[in-house]
Structure 1
Amino acid sequence: MGQTLLRLCREEGSGCQAVAAVARTVVNRVVDGVPYFTASELARVPAFDVAIDFSLPDGFDAVLALCRARGAALVSGTTGLNAAQQAALDAAASAIPVVWASNFSLGVAVLHALVERAAAMLPGWACDIVEAHHVHKRDAPSGTALTLGAAAQAGGADPRYASIRAGDIIGEHLVQFTGTGERIELVHRASNRDIFARGALHAAQRLHGRPPGRYRLGELL
């Protein structure tokens, strides 16, 4: 994800400029004009407007602390955060603008809204969420399926889950509402992983300059 973000930032008209990259290990200090730092060197990172974080839970705390110290916004797609880290995000939102999402696809953000609306308008209908990913994905249901389930619950539904792990599927999510004699299917299919990085860059641009708060991706469309 980091390499994709850097590549997309170099595209003409991206609207974003990468001022630093943070990696587990650093072989070359500067690559394509972007200085690289290790996680232990965060204090040396030059000034920035927004940090985009797709790391691991054990690296999340330091990035959040840096953003608070710099007064910079944070866009995070790091999954597996524990309750204390989610609480730290909420606390940071009193000082800086933050957005966290398990999936930065703009289409999935729209799907969340559609699922919640459909659940609210179809009381008593069964709700099933089926997600499919490549064989190497370990967690099931996926984080995206669970957030779609949360949207369904917010609308009053009681979702059930099913997971498929096959081939090289990037990501597919089906939310099905079934009533007597009819059903509705809402589907999102990802065919290119760039969509997640593009969504994060979109969120970064929309988050910059906003007042402190914890935002949802759907609010930044």
Structure 2
Amino acid sequence: MAQTAPQLKVAVAGATGRMGHMLIEAIRASGDCQLAGALDVAASPAIGNDAAAFLGLASGVPVTADLQAGLQNAQVLIDFTRPEGTMAHLKACRAGGVKMVIGTTGFTDPQKREIADAARDIAIVMAPNMSVGVNVTLKLLEMAAKALSTGYDIEIIEAHHRHKVDAPSGTALKMGEVIAEAIGRDLKECAVYAREGVTGERDPSTIGFSAIRGGDIVGDHTVLFAGTGERIEITHKSSSRTTYARGSLRAARFLAGRDKGLFDMFDVLGLR
């Protein structure tokens, strides 16, 4: 009789939020992953409740604010929270040897360096967007940017729900970074994030960003390459957060065979 492979034990940070619920649902439906911990802030009214109660099910895993308790049975933590929360989780994971999938955005440069340093001890996948489709789009943008490096103005337009707290989105910034690197520019020096009043003619070396916030838009991203006589638009639209959850589990499975190092979704998907 064939033995079944052991399930990957996954903890979820921000377990009672929209993304946390999607992750828990995806873990339960996966067949090869097991919910091993559910973290949330101490002020959450769900502390002590079963993490799958929102599904009308019992997982046997309580929602907790105690990092040690929430991580003690986990091999991987999936984190889509906020930078300050993720940094606290990072320290606990590094101390406990728990790998991390980080989908949080809005990190400062010092925080990014701290994450890279932690990757000397634990394996981490960090990406501003875990969607498989978005990461294939990033690869297409890399190819397009190299072919359209001169004679085309580049604009990145993104739209998200009213509750999103950072702008531009981490995905939009990643798109800008991929494009800038492909054409030999530094995004920090060529990005334009706001236009108002008499701005003068557009500098052809810049990459422009526009952010829209409203309603329940999950996430839309368009990169416009505007030339003379033609324009090319590459667009990705998300209609559900399930794509992020599925991509996160793919990243968690990727980490199962790695002890340390900092990776992104290009590594997970073999797009290098």
Both proteins in one fold, TM over 0.5: yes
Residue 74 of structure 2 aligns to a residue whose secondary structure is coil
CA spacing shift, 1:93–1:204, aligned 2, 3 Å = same
Query: How many angstroms apart in 1 are the aligned matches of 2:78 and 2:233?
Result: 33
The 5-angstrom pairing of residues 127-138 of structure 1 reads: 127-138=154-165
8 Å contact from structure 1 (residues 60, 78) kept in 2 = yes
1:37 CA displacement: 4.7
CA spacing shift, 1:164–1:173, aligned 2, 3 Å = same
CA spacing shift, 1:61–1:139, aligned 2, 3 Å = closer
1:50 CA displacement: 1.0
1:44 equivalent among 49, 69, 78: 69
Residue 34 of structure 2 aligns to a residue whose secondary structure is coil
Aligned residues, how many? 219
CA spacing shift, 1:138–1:67, aligned 2, 3 Å = closer
2:49 equivalent among 19, 28, 45: 28
Q: Which residue of 2 aligns with 1:16?
A: 33
Residue 33 of structure 1 aligns to a residue whose secondary structure is coil
CA spacing shift, 1:138–1:2, aligned 2, 3 Å = closer
Query: How many angstroms apart in 2 are the aligned matches of 1:132 and 1:213?
Result: 32
- Specify the structure having the higher radius of gyration (Cα): 2
1:69 CA displacement: 1.9
Q: In the alignment, is residue 105 of structure 1 matched against residue 126 of structure 2? A: no
Q: 1:103-137: CA deviations, max 9, x gaps?
A: 11111111111112211122212111111223343
1:211 CA displacement: 4.1
CA spacing shift, 1:206–1:178, aligned 2, 3 Å = same
Q: In the alignment, is residue 214 of structure 1 matched against residue 240 of structure 2? A: no
Gaps of 5+ in 2: 1-18, 53-57, 186-205
CA spacing shift, 1:175–1:111, aligned 2, 3 Å = same
Q: Which runs of 4+ in 1 moved over 6 A?
A: none
Q: Which residue of 2 aligns with 1:155?
A: 182
Query: How many angstroms apart in 2 are the aligned matches of 1:170 and 1:178?
Result: 26
CA spacing shift, 1:150–1:34, aligned 2, 3 Å = farther
1:83 CA displacement: 2.4
Query: How many angstroms apart in 1 are the aligned matches of 2:76 and 2:84?
Result: 20
2:153 equivalent among 119, 122, 126: 126
8 Å contact from structure 1 (residues 10, 17) kept in 2 = yes
1:99 CA displacement: 1.3
Q: Which residue of 1 aligns with 2:96?
A: 70
TM-score under structure 1 normalisation?
0.90
Q: 1:133-163: CA deviations, max 9, x gaps?
A: 2334343322211111111111116421122
Query: How many angstroms apart in 2 are the aligned matches of 1:68 and 1:172?
Result: 34
CA spacing shift, 1:151–1:165, aligned 2, 3 Å = same
